[in-house]
């Protein structure tokens, strides 16, 4: 079955709803490498959003574009 087309505005609204909540983040790095973090969305900008990572000592913050969510490179799930 074909996936429903999602617009950037819908993704922005969904990300805005998740701001400040504890999230589980899955990042597809390619070649069957998936990295998982726990954190929360701290800042939202017109083109990107910023995640604060809780469970990694080396990485404190990551930023992603809304197109990363549309493509499936990043998945956000509220805990």
CATH number at residue 74: 2.30.30.100
Task: Tell me the C-alpha distance between 66 and 9, whole Å.
Answer: 9
Task: Tell me the C-alpha distance between 6 and 69, whole Å.
Answer: 10
> What's the domain count of the chain?
1
Asked if the structure places residue 2 within a domain, the reply is no
pLDDT for 1 beyond 70:
no
* pLDDT classification of 4: cutoffs 50, 70, 90: confident
pLDDT number for residue 77: 95
pLDDT for 24 beyond 70:
yes
Asked if the structure places residue 69 within a domain, the reply is yes
The CA-based angle 19-25-30, given to 5 degrees, is: 135
Asked if the structure places residue 1 within a domain, the reply is no
* pLDDT classification of 2: cutoffs 50, 70, 90: low
Summarize pLDDT for 39-77 with one digit per residue, the tens: 999 999 999 999 999 987 788 999 999 999 998 899 999
Nearest partner of 14 among 78, 72, 63, judged by Cα: 78
């Amino acid at each position: 079955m074909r996936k429903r087309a999602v617009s950037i505005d819908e993704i922005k609204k969904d990300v805005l709803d998740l701001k400040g909540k504890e999230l589980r983040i899955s990042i597809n790095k390619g070649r069957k490498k998936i990295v998982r973090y726990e954190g929360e969305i701290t800042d939202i900008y017109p083109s990107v959003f910023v995640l604060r990572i809780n469970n990694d000592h080396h990485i404190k913050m990551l930023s992603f574009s809304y197109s990363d969510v549309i493509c499936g490179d990043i998945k956000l799930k509220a805990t």
